[in-house]
Every structure is written in C-alpha cells, then in structure tokens.
Amino acid sequence: MNNTKEKDMIDGFKKFISRGNMIDMAVGVVMGSAVTSVVNAIVDSLINPLIAMVFGKPDMSGLLAFTFNGATVSLGAILGALLNFLVIAVAVYFFILVPINKFRDMTDAMLVKAKLKQEEDEKAKEPEVSPEERTVELLAEIRDRLAAADHDLTLTKKQAIAPNNP
C-alpha cells in the first residue's frame, strides 16, 4: 500500500512538472537571469562611466549621502537602483515584449487571412444563383407554405363542422 501511494505521488509530480506552466516559469527564470547579466553589463560599461564623467564618482552610491544619528542615508544608492530598474524595464520592453507582441500580431493576422480565404473558398464552391432565380425560389417557397397553411385550415374547419360521435 505504501508503494502505491509513493507511485501516485511520483506520477502526480511528473504531471505537475510536465505542465506548460512550470516549463514557462523555468524559461522565465532563465530569461530573467540573461536579462540581468545584459543589464549589469550596460550599467557597468556604459552608465557608470557616464556618471563618473558627470559627478566624478564611479557610481551613484556615494552621491547625496549624509549621516543622521549614526545612520547613513544614501539617496544616490536609491537613484542608482531606480536607474537600474529603468534600464531593465526598457530592455525587457524592447527586447522581449515588443518582439513577442509583433509575432502575436503577425500570427493573428495570418489566422484571420486564412479564415477569410477559407470562407471565400466555401463561397466559391456554392453555385451562383441569379437574383431572378432566387426570386422564383422564394416565391415558390411562399406558395408552398401558403398551400400547406390553407390545407391545415381546411382540416381544422372540417373537424369543427363534423359532429362529435363518441
């Protein structure tokens, strides 16, 4: 009995791992790690040297720093973190979201185009009926319905006139 519970637990774990959500999450973690290394390279190689040229310090951590009752408040570190956040946001937007949205739009357009083509093909398969032929068909249908209604009405009148014989 213990062996069956363990097997069920392992099978459940396999199903959980093989679900798309878990794989997507793993891909997201790997992509996040890659974006972090790219952003760190941009900050270390491009932004920090620009900060050093403007402020004379290698990074923003020492800027606008002051001590208050023995605690150091570094507004430069906060500004540096905000700058890193903005660089990450821009990198994620332009290098991940824009291409994904472009791809999604392209696939949606292709699906719409394929559906329209399928509808056109189905419409082309239908025999072409002239307006006069369609009018004749509709008039014949109306005539047939009126005749059926008249027949039903005649039967109803006959039933109403006939005496009830038990």
N- to C-terminal Cα separation, the chain: 75
> What token pair was written down for 77?
């570190």
Place 20 in a pLDDT band, splitting at 50, 70 and 90. low
Q: 63 near 76, Cβ under 8 Å? A: yes
> Which residues, other chains included, contact 83 with Cβ-Cβ below 8 Å and sequence gap of 6+?
43, 47, 60
**In what helix (H) or strand (E) does residue 1 lie, and over which residues does it extend?**
none
Q: Tell whether the model's pLDDT for residue 165 goes beyond 60.
A: no
| CA–CA dist 89, 45 (Å, integer) | 18
The residue with tokens 């002051």 is: 66
CB atoms within 10 A of CB 131: 7
For 27-80, what is each residue's pLDDT tens digit?
Answer: 788 888 887 888 788 878 887 788 778 877 777 777 788 888 888 888 888 888
pLDDT at 108: 92
The gap from C-alpha 27 to its chain's centroid, in whole angstroms, comes to 18
Cβ neighbours of 51 (radius 10 Å)? 20
Q: Phi and psi at residue 63, in whole multiples of 5°?
A: -75, 145
User: Over 60: is that where the pLDDT of 166 sits?
Assistant: no
pTM: 0.46
Angle between helices 2-18 and 20-42 (to 10 degrees): 50
What are the φ/ψ torsions at residue 72 (nearest 5 degrees)? -95, 125
Q: Give which of 72, 48, 70, 68 is closest to 60, Cα–Cα.
A: 48
